[in-house]
């Protein structure tokens, strides 16, 4: 889910997101813009501020944003994305 461009819309669904999580649903989201113009004009500081603001809003609405195993799954997911990226860049000669 592209939270960078849809944060306001996403946050209006806090109650539905909470119900989704309560049923065992998992959301994966990205805060770094993938579009050239948006990416070129962004900073890490702003992205942190934007993401933390979303987390605080959803937390106040009762949405839990942590995995049961805390960071383990997130760390493994990032590792897998890194390796997937490498394999695809190598396969399509993008390295």
Structure tokens at 81: 């994305």
What does the pLDDT read at residue 90? Answer: 93
More confident residue, 8 or 92: 92
Q: What is the dihedral of CA 74, 25, 14, 70, to 10 degrees?
A: -30
End-to-end, the C-alpha distance of the chain in Å comes to: 27
Per the CB < 8 A criterion, the answer to whether 56 and 63 are in contact is no
Q: What is the pLDDT of residues 50-88, one digit of tens each?
A: 988 888 888 888 887 777 787 888 889 889 999 999 999
Integer Cα distance of 59 and 41 in angstroms: 28
pTM of the predicted model, to two decimals?
Answer: 0.66
Q: Tell me, what's the pLDDT at 85?
A: 92
Given this model, what pLDDT does residue 75 score? 87
């Amino acid at each position: 889910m592209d939270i960078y461009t849809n944060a306001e819309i996403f946050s209006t669904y806090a109650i539905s997101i909470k119900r989704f999580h309560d049923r065992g649903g998992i959301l994966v989201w990205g805060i770094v813009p993938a579009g050239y113009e948006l990416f070129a004009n962004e900073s890490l500081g702003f992205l942190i501020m934007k993401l933390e603001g979303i987390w605080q809003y959803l937390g106040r609405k009762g949405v839990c944003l942590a995995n049961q195993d805390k960071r383990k799954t997130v760390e493994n997911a990032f590792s897998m994305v890194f390796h997937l990226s490498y394999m695809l860049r190598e396969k399509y000669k993008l390295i």
